[in-house]
Structure 1
């Protein structure tokens, strides 16, 4: 790991929400990375509401990684998202705050506000478009004035998709005009499971879809130009020859995040925008039936307060066991991996995009270990290390950005490749 930017602050990084389900894995990943460099290379601390819980996480990481010095080298800061003064004290001690406290629609804004007001950058792993886009709308100018960076969605939602589009564009010989991505999850004999924090974000996000449309109108954006042939929508359910299973539109934050990055690169760097559609493979006909029944029930219940309360209270029942308050077991995590495959098309070198149909294609892929609690901590930690080490390669002056906008000119993809998120060209 290259030397980090020097600082007069006590800590280069503070992990806020370190005792949460995802936060504990971010602690382990940061500890692994700091062990790669010389002693004292990067200073960091844990923060959260409960000192005993944070101590437990630190002890667990020390034991898991066989790094007993963690118990004495890593400090603990008590901070509560509902107590502005405690957030201010925390933020004044950090160069970068890694915010792991969600759902972000309820708990994210106080952290963003405290970071900007107290001189620290902020990185999160949010997959909630409403929150991400509202932070850009309400805090971008404030972050610019302060010269600070707020970069959301730095987990598997949505670094693989956002940086994957940039990687595909860079590998394409010509003008890339459109990309479709297909996410597939591979599980072992133990199956897979997701912590119910993600489920809660989905419940509240679907319940508040109308607000997102209103929010986007406030930006006043003009539609991005369509370069080349317009890509047709695949529909709500189809059999994908690409992944050889049924697929549906991916309802996570990927499309929203990529669109924000493409707009930034078009408006600030005059790069030709790429059309993007995101899909996820769901399996065979049995999975289709299960998804249809569960999706219909979810859609009906999420409209009403009582329905949302039941969904939140019994995530395992209403998700057919996919979500759980206990999260995945160690064996489930070890047996799970993901691949995100990009099918791009465009115009080869020397061919004008305004003439005829696309004549060139490319297939790229991002692969990694279990996405939620192995790959996400890797992505978050490498985003923070990139921000610390390469401030000269970030957008000038600070602001609220998507990963692709913030890290387009950095070595983030190389760093991810070295830490288990593999970017590769399949054909093209």
Structure 2
């Protein structure tokens, strides 16, 4: 069967999947005569989603085809992937349900993106399926939602801004925060479940990385030291702790893949922090994190966490998900404090070393170079999980449809996959801001 569907949204009846469907309806005019389908386990629920589209369709978007498919039935996945040019996977936790979809997409030459934020899953897929995906001329790009498009593309944007100023990147500190309105904020149960499984797989992730044999990311300039934890930082007007989110792992993996894929994007030393506007929010997060870390190690503990999300997260997660008012009032930011080294200060030999893609050892000869250029950049956007995620994953899908020749084949992080495309501009055009800002560096 020929590829007669531009996009398939798998998991369209889920909490996030419905927002992705709505985002396609809002933006489908960007793709001429878009042919698409919505898919999931329940035909009745898919019909309900399609009916909502029909009633609220002000953009004259073509009605999606309805296709029943289930992760537990590989034949349905293969039939779906055979017809899809781009497959958007919204079915998590991805540790449990993601791999069969990736396999079906590779075997049937369908490009794949998802909204995963589970580090062990992302890195395992990259190691396991990269070569096969390349041989099949397929692009597999996980982490295309809030985890981790804003941070990953923000890091790329920051490096590009240093390059515009004639500098190579040396050190980049990243500060991430969520902002809520009077209604507060709340996360969906699916996100919560993914978080629990991610924590429970920390040991598997460590073991996986031991055998990954990834390229060495060389240090350029003096060592970037971590900032004191739980201290108030005037630059971001909040208390900070080292980040425990997916973003940092994806950023580091992307730097390895920049070397492997020879993208021409130079690495930097990076550190990442979460920002809390009040100390009590920080204390609550640290307490719940300690409880999660202990209970997630045991099956009985995971069952307990999954049964009572609102209790163990101090109300931040629930099976009901956020209200519309909460979604409308929330926003996020990532701020990047970057230091670079002027290229004009470097010898030709030093530049050749830096640009070499075959680093087999740290470039100690470059570690004494002192940065002389500083910039501050920022990424800002609306509510992270159910506004930003649909925007980013849909724009990734459109980019794959329109610019496939500029996207590497294999399993890549977002910045590696979309670094030579118009994705940054697409995100800007749809409400995600990327700016160089004025601000106090120290």
In the superposition, the TM-score normalised over structure 2's length comes to 0.90
Alpha-carbon distance in 2 for matches of 1:63, 1:192: 29
Partner of 1:73, secondary structure, is coil
Pair 1:221 & 2:214 matched: yes
Q: Give a deviation string over 1:106-153, Cα, whole Å, max 9, x none.
A: 000000000011121110011111001111111111101111010010
Pair 1:301 & 2:295 matched: yes
Pair 1:331 & 2:355 matched: no
Pair 1:423 & 2:434 matched: yes
The verdict on how the C-alpha distance between 1:249 and 1:90 changes in structure 2, with shifts beyond 3 A counting, is: same
Alpha-carbon distance in 1 for matches of 2:230, 2:146: 23
Select which of 199, 208, 219 maps to 2:201: 208
Pair 1:88 & 2:78 matched: yes
The verdict on how the C-alpha distance between 1:236 and 1:62 changes in structure 2, with shifts beyond 3 A counting, is: farther
Alpha-carbon distance in 2 for matches of 1:119, 1:351: 47
Alignment root-mean-square deviation, CA: 1.8
Pair 1:13 & 2:7 matched: yes
Alpha-carbon distance in 1 for matches of 2:199, 2:367: 38
Contact 1:128-1:252 at 8 Å conserved across structures: no
Contact 2:188-2:321 at 8 Å conserved across structures: yes
Pair 1:403 & 2:414 matched: yes
Alpha-carbon distance in 2 for matches of 1:406, 1:16: 21
Select which of 374, 384, 391 maps to 1:361: 374
Q: Give a deviation string over 1:188-233, Cα, whole Å, max 9, x none.
A: 1111110011111111111110110110112112531101111112
Q: Give a deviation string over 1:17-47, Cα, whole Å, max 9, x none.
A: 0000000000011111113555x2x111101
Select which of 332, 339, 345 maps to 1:345: 339
- Structure 1 window deviating more from structure 2 (374-383 vs 170-179): it is 170-179
Match of 2:36 in 1: 44
Select which of 393, 415, 423 maps to 2:406: 393
Partner of 1:219, secondary structure, is coil
Match of 1:321 in 2: 315
Alpha-carbon distance in 1 for matches of 2:279, 2:428: 35
Query: Gaps (5+ residues) in structure 2?
Result: 347-365
Pair 1:373 & 2:386 matched: yes
Contact 1:28-1:65 at 8 Å conserved across structures: no
Note the 1:63-142 alignment, pairs <5 A. 63-66=55-58, 73-142=63-132
Note the 1:103-252 alignment, pairs <5 A. 103-172=93-162, 173=165, 174-252=167-245
Partner of 2:223, secondary structure, is coil
Q: Give a deviation string over 1:267-315, Cα, whole Å, max 9, x none.
A: 4145431112221112222223322332232222222221111110110
Alpha-carbon distance in 1 for matches of 2:215, 2:412: 19
Partner of 1:138, secondary structure, is helix
Query: Gaps (5+ residues) in structure 1?
Result: 1-6
Partner of 2:17, secondary structure, is helix
Match of 1:59 in 2: 51
- Structure 1 window deviating more from structure 2 (243-252 vs 113-122): it is 243-252
